[in-house]
Amino acid sequence: MGVGVALITPFDQNHEIDYDGFRRLLEFTSEGGVDYLVVQGTTGETSTTTAQEKADLLKFTKEHNAKNLPIVYGLGGNNTKVVLETIKNTDLSGVSAILSVCPYYNKPSQAGLIAHFTAIADASPVPVLLYNVPGRTVTHLQIPTVLELAKHPNIIGIKDASSIENAIELAKRCPKDFLLLSGDDNLVTAAVSIGFSGVISVIANAFPKEFGEMTWAALKGNFDEAAALQHRFLDFDTLLYAESNPVGIKKCCEIKGICSSEVRLPLVKASEELGAKLTKAMNAENFWK
C-alpha cells in the first residue's frame, strides 16, 4: 500500500554499477517517505543487468535499508524454466514479495500465462505480485486470467500499467483482499479513487516527497488535494518517457545530484534538449526538495 519506488540502477562513466550513487538513492527515497523499495523492476534496467549484478543489488539494498522498509524484488522473464531456477538460487530472505512481469516477445496465450505464473507462485517462498505492462511486453493479462490467478494463495496482487478502463474492471471484479497497484504515475489519483491501494512509481526516484504526499492524499480521500498535486506532474511525467524509461528520471536524479544519468546500451542518456526541458519543468513546479 502507498508508494513503492521502482529504483533505477545508477551507472558510472564506464557503465558499471555505481554503488555510491545507489546508496544515495536509497537514502534519498527512504528519507523522502516512500513506503517500500522495488529492486530490479524494469525501471532498474533489468534487461541489461547480469544475474550476479541483480543479486548484488538486492544484497546491497538489504544492507543499506536504514528504515527497514519492505523490499519487493523484480523476478520475472519470458523463459519459465529460467525464472524458476532463479527463484531457487536467489536469497529471498528479507524480501516481502517478488514482482513478476508478463512474459515478453514470445506472446503466450492466456492459458500459457496462467501456467507460467502458477509455476512461479508454486515455486516462490514469498508472495508474488503480477506485473501487466502490455505497452512493453505486447501480451496483456486479461481480466479473466487475473481473476483465475488471484485464486492462487501465493499471488497477492497486480501492478497494472495498461489503461484506466482495465483498472476500473480490476477494481470491480477482483477480490477485496487482492492488492491493486498502479503502474502509471499519471493515473494514481484516478486509480485510488476506484479502489487501488497505491503505486509502484518511477517519479518517486527523484520526487518521493511530492509523489508520496499526492498518493496519500488520495488514499485518505482528500481528492481535491491529490488532484492538484497530480496536475503538477502531468506534463512533467510525459517528458520522462520522451526518450524512453529510465532515461528521463535518471536525468532528474543527475540534476538533483543523486547519481549520474548514464544508462546502458541500447539506451542512450538524455539529450541536452530533454535535460533543459526537465530542468525548466522542475523549476516551474519547484521540484527541488
- H or E, element range at 3: strand 2-6
Residues 6+ apart with CB under 8 A from 277: 239, 242
Residues in a beta bridge with 106 = none
Q: Using an 8 Å Cβ cutoff, are 5 and 29 in contact?
A: yes
Burial (CB count within 10 angstroms: exposed 0-12, middle 13-18, buried 19+), residue 280: exposed
Annotated binding site: 43, 200
Please check whether residue 12 is in contact with residue 18, taking contact to mean a CB–CB distance below 8 angstroms.
yes
Q: How many CB atoms neighbour CB 64 within 10 A?
A: 15
Catalytic residue among 54, 159, 250, 277: 159
Residues annotated as binding site for pyruvate? 43, 200
Cell of residue 133, nine digits = 505492462
Q: Is 151 a catalytic residue?
A: no
Query: All 3 cell numbers of residue 237?
Result: 511525467
Rounded Cα gap, residues 124 and 177, in angstroms: 20
The active-site residue, picked from 36, 73, 131, 250, is 131
159 is catalytic: yes
Q: Before 266, cis peptide (omega within 30)?
A: yes
- Residue 176 CA to residue 163 CA, distance in Å, equals 20
Residues with a catalytic annotation lie at: 131, 159
